[in-house]
């Protein structure tokens, strides 16, 4: 068993499930949903955990949520053609969630995307995307390939249904990530299955409300050691903008989700084992501490697998 598989097995030990290889496309139930954790990290430029980004596949189409650092590398490793990722939903405009957008936008176009990159996000999204197109206009002009893939099609949205097509319904809901006025979580519904992404938030009842009975809840988490909470002038302020493991556990329990997954994991002198132990104070259901390149196949059962990073 390779290291990454061992880690998945360890992550699943608490849930009584076993890690196994992802089923081939033709073996999967047509109604199934697939969720890939592309980046599960913090703003730090770690190579083990890239920036926050999650890809959902449903009905043969792809929907990307946030595009943190390394998004294109993770898609490459998964063998997902960049040109097929043409729909991006942003939770908020902090740079750790958007720094991979230019790479997705331009590399996706150069590698064959024939339609504009469509982007939905909170206030400021359209402005950011239009300015990005302007920032790279030299490259866009000098290339001979002037198809619509070099363009952006971005829109600012508010809470509510932001996308409804091909049997997929995507709803943005407001979460609480001070000092931002506008930060979203997303609810993704397809053929009776639901995946919810918390976005960046401190403990928030809206996540519970939207994740009631969800198949998968992908939630952010942040934690620090007692020592750092007492001595650091900065860390308690960072944690006040995010969700502690005990609080996340409460969200998982109250929402009654089939499986809880941590992504966007921010730990200060706290081990993953401690993260799990602290979550277990308030939640005893299936829990996975996410890692980059984990894939969840959501059908009558939820299968978790992982892909080896490319050298
Ligand atoms: Zn963040």
How would you list the strands of the sheet with 287-289, edge to edge?
160-165, 168-174, 184-190, 193-197, 216-224, 259-268, 287-289
Residue 25 predicted with pLDDT over 80: no
- Ligand 1 centre to CA of 292 (Å) is 16
- Model pLDDT, residue 45: 87
Name the token pair of 240.
């006040």
Residue 6 predicted with pLDDT over 50: no
Name the token pair of 94.
């902090």
The whole-chain average pLDDT of the chain stands at 90
- Ligand 1 centre to CA of 65 (Å) is 12
pLDDT band at 8 (very low <50, low <70, confident <90, very high): very low
pLDDT digits (tens, 9 = 90+) for 76-133: 999 999 999 999 999 999 999 999 999 999 999 999 899 999 999 999 999 999 999 9
What is the rounded average pLDDT of the residues 282-307? 96
Q: How far is CA 307 from CA 19, 29, 75, 165, in A?
A: 12, 20, 11, 30
Bridge partners, residue 88, by sequence: 64, 119
Q: Which residues are catalytic?
A: 96
pLDDT band at 28 (very low <50, low <70, confident <90, very high): low
pLDDT band at 47 (very low <50, low <70, confident <90, very high): confident
Residue 282 predicted with pLDDT over 80: yes
- Ligand 1 centre to CA of 266 (Å) is 9
- Ligand 1 centre to CA of 265 (Å) is 9
Dihedral Cα 244, 245, 251, 256, nearest 10 deg: 170
List the domains of the chain with CATH numbers. 31-301 (3.60.15.10)
pTM of the prediction? 0.90
Name the token pair of 150.
């070099």
- Ligand 1 centre to CA of 56 (Å) is 19
Nearest-10 crossing angle of helices 101-110, 71-78: 50
What is the rounded average pLDDT of the residues 2-20? 41
């Amino acid at each position: 068993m390779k290291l990454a598989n061992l880690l998945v097995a360890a992550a699943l030990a608490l849930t009584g499930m076993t890690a196994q290889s992802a089923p081939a496309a033709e073996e999967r139930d047509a109604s199934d949903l697939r969720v890939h954790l592309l980046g599960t990290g913090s703003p730090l430029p770690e190579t083990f955990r890239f920036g926050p980004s999650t890809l959902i596949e449903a009905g043969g189409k792809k929907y990307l949520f946030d595009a943190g650092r390394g998004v294109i590398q993770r898609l490459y490793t998964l063998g997902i053609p960049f040109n097929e990722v043409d729909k991006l939903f942003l939770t908020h405009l902090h740079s750790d969630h958007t720094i991979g957008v230019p790479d997705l936008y331009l590399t996706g176009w150069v590698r064959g995307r024939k339609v504009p990159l469509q982007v939905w996000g909170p206030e400021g999204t359209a402005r950011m995307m239009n300015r990005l197109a302007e920032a790279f206009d030299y490259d866009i002009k000098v290339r001979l390939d002037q198809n619509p893939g070099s363009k952006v099609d971005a829109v600012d949205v508010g809470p509510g249904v932001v996308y409804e097509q091909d049997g997929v319904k995507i709803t943005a809901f407001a979460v609480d990530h001070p000092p931002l006025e506008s930060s979203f979580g997303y609810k993704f519904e397809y053929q009776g299955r639901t995946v919810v992404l918390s976005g960046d938030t401190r403990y928030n009842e809206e996540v519970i409300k939207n994740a009631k009975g969800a198949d998968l809840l992908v939630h952010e988490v942040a934690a620090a050691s007692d020592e750092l909470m007492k001595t650091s002038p900065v860390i308690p302020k960072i944690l006040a903008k995010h969700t502690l493991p005990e609080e996340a556990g409460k969200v998982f329990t109250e929402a009654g989700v089939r499986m809880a997954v941590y992504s966007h994991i921010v730990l200060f002198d706290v081990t993953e084992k401690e993260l799990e132990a602290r979550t277990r104070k308030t939640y005893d259901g299936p829990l996975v501490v996410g890692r980059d390149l984990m894939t969840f196949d959501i059908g009558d059962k939820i299968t978790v697998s992982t892909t080896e990073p490319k050298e």
